[in-house]
Amino acid sequence: MNLILRCRLALLWAGLGVLFLSSCKRDPEVVPVGTPPASSTVTAGAVTDRDVNNWILENMNYYYLWNDKLPANPDKTLTPDKFFLSLLYDRNNTANSDRDRFSWLQASATELKASLSGETKTTGMEFRLFYRDQSQTAIIGSVLYVKLNSPAAQAGVKRGDIFTRVNNETLTGSNYNQLLYNNADSYAFTFAQATAANVLTEDKQSKTVQAVVFQEDPVLLDTTYTRNGRTIGYVVYNQFVPGPNGTTAKAYDVKLDNVFAKFKQKGVNELVLDLRYNRGGYVSSATNLASLMGKDVGNKVFYWQRWNSKVKADYDQKYGAGKWGIQSFVAKPQNIGANLSRVYILTTGSTASASELIINGLKPFMNVVTIGATTVGKNVGSITISDASNKIKWGIQPLTFKSANADGFADYPDGFKPLVEVKESTYDLKPLGAITEPLLAEAIYQITGTRTARRATVSAQDLLPSPGSSLDRKAGGGNMFLEKF
């Protein structure tokens, strides 16, 4: 079959099921489409769970990274959510860190697509939950950051604020899901002030914050510091998203370009990249960011994709072995790599996926110094699959490839351990960008040898387990590393 006809079929298949599709051409960004699943899955009349399950299985049989490990006789009588989970490789085997921890589906493909571009219904504040004491009954919420121009920002909520009640109910391990994640249009938060002894005094009045469909700007903060003869650039980046949902303009990539153009103009020779709350996103934006700071990268390989044998065979035949599934750095006039010998990346247990791709992809070219906590360990990527005919409302986000850097390294399912471990406090979160903020302060110390704040210590409260974070609920767990079809 000639290339032109194959391209037409691929584009037709994009209309039938796959959300995004690269242009059909022989270049490093070509992404496998292969032989599409049958288009006759859905019969006439109402769509049944079995129709949805057949559609899911057909796509998983072709695209899924572990398609050779799918159950021989999956139970199609299950509801689609349970059926999808039943297909995932070794999902419940916690001893296997290389199992499928990250594929997901959503009942609404439209909402799935929007959330991947940073558009969700939200108050605009991201928070982490903590148990208040050893009994692990009562819970508090600590605000990690507030999205720019969001309802929470307008209500005066800020990083480090602590809340104990929602709608006048004390948060506990048994009610926090219902109180915080019920898709309400507003929430009344009771905030509290912490003393030096970590004793909380609740405010007399609660603060009502609206929840709206909101588009997050992922470039939260950028600034520069001059310390001991070094010019330090600092940027907080919270999701790899090219631009707002529903647009083709790459407004957020351009915003990052402008940040680095400013860094270049100011002579930045040290860089601190804050990815502590970045759960991932589109690899196109990861490539853009890496290309802004990579040292002597030219058009060298940023990462390789490793797909299943079925996809590999199809595209080896179509393009030639080694001629596809490769993403190189791109030339960027704003690149500051020539002035850098290293990059400092701030990480937490919420740093995942495309953020880890940045760490791994830069390592062959420069010294990458991680500060904070061990990252999630997501060395796999996914694609978005939906039914454009809209007969099937579900959207699936299956893992489809592993990534490797230019040296071929791909094995980090346990995450990247930090060179310097620094934990965030529960009760005393400093503003992002403040030179006294522990993770940033440690980076400045590593750069200059001079401390701007006392070395962070861990309190007894910080050792208590956390039942989770709002970040965990971003786009199917937020563990995003997406190839844009």
45-63 pLDDT tens trace: 688 999 999 999 999 999 9
Say which residue the tokens 């899901």 belong to: 177
Say which residue the tokens 């595209």 belong to: 315
Q: At what angle do helices 309-319 and 49-63 cross, to 10 degrees?
A: 60
- The tokens describing 107, both together, are 């009942």
Per-residue HEC secondary structure of 402-414 comes to EEECCCCCCCCCC
pLDDT beneath 50: ranges in the chain: 1-40, 476-485
pLDDT attached to residue 347: 98
Q: How far, in Å, are 5, 7, 129, 335 from residue 2 at the CA level?
A: 6, 9, 56, 40
3-state percent helix, strand, coil for the chain, nearest multiple of 5: 25, 25, 50
pLDDT attached to residue 98: 85
pLDDT attached to residue 397: 92
Say which residue the tokens 């010294």 belong to: 367
DSSP-based three-state secondary structure for 4: helix
pLDDT attached to residue 465: 76
In sequence order, the 6+-apart residues with CB closer than 8 A to the CB of 283 are 240, 303, 327, 354, 357, 381, 481, 482, 483, 484
**Which domains, from first to last, does the chain contain?**
1-118+216-456 (3.90.226.10), 120-213 (2.30.42.10)
pLDDT attached to residue 362: 98
pTM listed for this prediction: 0.87
Nearest in space to 276 (alpha carbons), one of 342, 223, 350 = 350
Euclidean distance between CA atoms 168 and 185, whole angstroms? 16
Q: Do 481 and 378 touch, CB atoms closer than 8 A?
A: yes
